[in-house]
């Protein structure tokens, strides 16, 4: 699952796996409006990839084998 957030004082994307593990990825934009535009584009362009990663299992399990 993917979530976009500004909770911690900066725009970022949270990648959340089936077990609830989160990974924060900063979004380097000029302001929150630009971050929102990026988030909308990212979801529209990559939702199939996000879905496949989530259904496959946790990223941590995939890396371990």
How open is the CA angle 25-31-33, to the nearest 5 degrees? 95
Is residue 38 within 8 A of residue 29, CB to CB? The reply is yes
Cα gap 52→18, rounded to integer Å: 12
Q: Give how far Cα 50 sits from Cα of 30, 32, 55, Å.
A: 25, 22, 9
What domain range includes position 51?
2-64
Q: How many domains does the chain have?
A: 1
Is residue 26 within 8 A of residue 14, CB to CB? The reply is no
Is residue 48 within 8 A of residue 56, CB to CB? The reply is no
Query: What local confidence, expressed as pLDDT, does residue 59 receive?
Result: 56
Whole-prediction pTM value? Answer: 0.71
Average pLDDT, the chain: 85
pLDDT tens, residue by residue, 15-37: 888 888 888 999 999 999 999 99
Query: What local confidence, expressed as pLDDT, does residue 38 receive?
Result: 95
Query: What local confidence, expressed as pLDDT, does residue 58 receive?
Result: 58
Q: How confident is the model at residue 12 (pLDDT cuts 50, 70, 90)?
A: very high
């Amino acid at each position: 699952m993917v979530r976009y957030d500004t909770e911690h004082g900066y725009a970022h994307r949270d990648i959340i796996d089936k077990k609830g593990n989160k990974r924060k990825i900063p979004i380097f934009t000029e302001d929150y409006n630009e971050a929102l535009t990026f988030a909308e584009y990212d979801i529209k362009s990559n939702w199939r990839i996000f879905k496949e990663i989530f259904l496959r299992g946790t990223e941590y399990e995939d890396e371990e084998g």
